[in-house]
Chains A and B, each alone.
Chain A
């Protein structure tokens, strides 16, 4: 391999033993006085030396269309550029006459993408990455070229699990500038239709079976019934706030008889076509217990204390120690209940409490 050039370009090209290394940015202009004899392929090592990340940058840096015109370049110029890792360019035999491109490109991107093509320059891109967001920008500026044809076809077949984003942007810019008016130039742009086929192989939604028989192996929420009866003793209705480490305590009379406890839960009743009666419920569905307590015959001072307590704890979790000495925690859900004066210094009010037994 031999390279001959004028002395003025020595500073630009580092000529080694059979190799040529470009050590500067490729703004070098090779004039007709320069005669380059092949192969330039591996010796130039453009890929590693320049670190050019994109196809467009390589093209602009080297000014290939102008620089290489009418010089003595062999037909293997594509290999001589050595862009195969990022962009491999094959020049046809007509390159000396037309300086036109019929590129055959192989692109391997760092984000696990690779593409391959055929002789027509059509891309076949496959993605095997988790996220796919690619932007291809081609800007061709060919001078003194008779034919400039860009054809980009992306056919993607994506098989993804839990794909979040898919974003493709195509930017095709082709510009042909020629001073030769002898032939009519054509410029065409075409974008092939893109088809995407998604195959969801991962099931994100877990099927829930709301009707295993209670106690069966398929019932993860099985809870054995508590066969130990609760211990009841005598207590006095006491409200405390906050529930944890209370600072406010209100002691009241025990409620009158007729107090109610309403235990509600959500369940679905269905009759199947086969005649079975189905009861279904997810144990995670909420259950509530609302107690309605009527406290009678309390004096006005106590009523004032009740009103003050309700105002201070509105919507807050309070503690309730009932007349059976059982501790509850919950919220007063009807603070607007009427407080009735039944007689002289005799007041009655209703406490509606939604809570759970601690």
Chain B
């Protein structure tokens, strides 16, 4: 289970999401520019942001997708705190622009009756 809360630092609203699908990822948000001189000396230029890029694919019910969309509509310009399924806590901001939801198929018994694919991309740092 994943919990996102916003706006930071007041954290008035929380949205609970199911665990993401497999293939979720995290990547260091660092950049290295490597250059060599004519004499063979190597120089590396580092652009370090100290943040991690989180990519979380979800399958949500239709109603949960609408809830997440409403959450994003209001708090897309705020920072969130995210507690991931592994218990780690992050201070994050939304990267995925645009935010896209794709109806995957029918889901009998789920709120809204449909399953929706949503992927969140976050720029986050561990807190």
- When distances are taken between beta carbons in the complex, the residues of chain B under 8 Å from A230 are 66
A179 at the interface (CB under 8 A from B): no
Query: Are the CB atoms of A260 and B71 closer together than 8 Å?
Result: no
Chain A residues touching B, range? 20 to 34
* B118 CB to nearest chain A CB (Å): 10
Expressed in whole angstroms, the Cα–Cα distance for A279 and B91 within the complex equals 12
* B60 CB to nearest chain A CB (Å): 12
The segment from B19-27, B37-45, B81-89, B93-101 that touches chain A is B93-101
Residue of chain A at shortest CB distance from B97: A264
Query: Are the CB atoms of B70 and A279 closer together than 8 Å?
Result: no
Query: Are the CB atoms of A215 and B77 closer together than 8 Å?
Result: no
- When distances are taken between beta carbons in the complex, the residues of chain B under 8 Å from A232 are 62-63, 112
Q: Given the known A-B contacts A213-B7, A277-B79, are A264 and B93 also in contact in the complex, defined by CB atoms under 8 Å?
A: no
A344 at the interface (CB under 8 A from B): no
Q: Given the known A-B contacts A213-B7, A214-B7, A265-B97, are A226 and B78 also in contact in the complex, defined by CB atoms under 8 Å?
A: no
Interface residues of A in 208-227 (CB under 8 A from B): 213-216, 223-226
* A355 CB to nearest chain B CB (Å): 15
- Chain A at the B interface: SS class: loop
Query: Are the CB atoms of B102 and A258 closer together than 8 Å?
Result: yes
Query: Are the CB atoms of A260 and B101 closer together than 8 Å?
Result: yes
Expressed in whole angstroms, the Cα–Cα distance for A76 and B86 within the complex equals 104
Query: Are the CB atoms of B105 and A257 closer together than 8 Å?
Result: yes
Expressed in whole angstroms, the Cα–Cα distance for A280 and B93 within the complex equals 10
> Of the candidates B10, B76, B99, which one forms a contact with A213 in the assembled complex, judged by CB atoms under 8 Å apart?
B10
* A279 CB to nearest chain B CB (Å): 4
Query: Are the CB atoms of B103 and A257 closer together than 8 Å?
Result: yes
- When distances are taken between beta carbons in the complex, the residues of chain A under 8 Å from B7 are 213-215
* B91 CB to nearest chain A CB (Å): 7
Q: Given the known A-B contacts A214-B75, A215-B10, are A277 and B91 also in contact in the complex, defined by CB atoms under 8 Å?
A: yes
- Chain B at the A interface: SS class: mixed
B106 at the interface (CB under 8 A from A): yes
Query: Are the CB atoms of B77 and A281 closer together than 8 Å?
Result: yes
- When distances are taken between beta carbons in the complex, the residues of chain A under 8 Å from B70 are 225-226
0 or 1 for each of B1-21: is its CB under 8 Å from A? (1 = yes) = 000001111101100000000
Q: Given the known A-B contacts A258-B102, A281-B77, are A269 and B95 also in contact in the complex, defined by CB atoms under 8 Å?
A: yes
Query: Are the CB atoms of A213 and B71 closer together than 8 Å?
Result: no
0 or 1 for each of B96-121: is its CB under 8 Å from A? (1 = yes) = 01111111111000001010000000
Query: Are the CB atoms of B106 and A257 closer together than 8 Å?
Result: yes
Query: Are the CB atoms of B51 and A277 closer together than 8 Å?
Result: yes
Residue of chain A at shortest CB distance from B76: A265
Query: Are the CB atoms of B78 and A263 closer together than 8 Å?
Result: no
- When distances are taken between beta carbons in the complex, the residues of chain B under 8 Å from A267 are 76-77, 94, 97
Residue of chain B at shortest CB distance from A224: B74
A229 at the interface (CB under 8 A from B): yes
A155 at the interface (CB under 8 A from B): no
> Of the candidates A214, A260, A261, which one forms a contact with B74 in the assembled complex, judged by CB atoms under 8 Å apart?
A214
Query: Are the CB atoms of B67 and A229 closer together than 8 Å?
Result: yes
Beyond A214-B77, A277-B51, A283-B77, list 11 extra A-B contacts (CB 8 Å): A213-B9, A223-B74, A225-B13, A232-B112, A257-B105, A258-B103, A263-B100, A264-B99, A265-B73, A271-B50, A279-B94
Q: Which residues of B contact A (CB under 8 A)?
A: 6-10, 12-13, 49-51, 62-63, 66-67, 69-79, 91, 93-95, 97-106, 112, 114, 123, 125
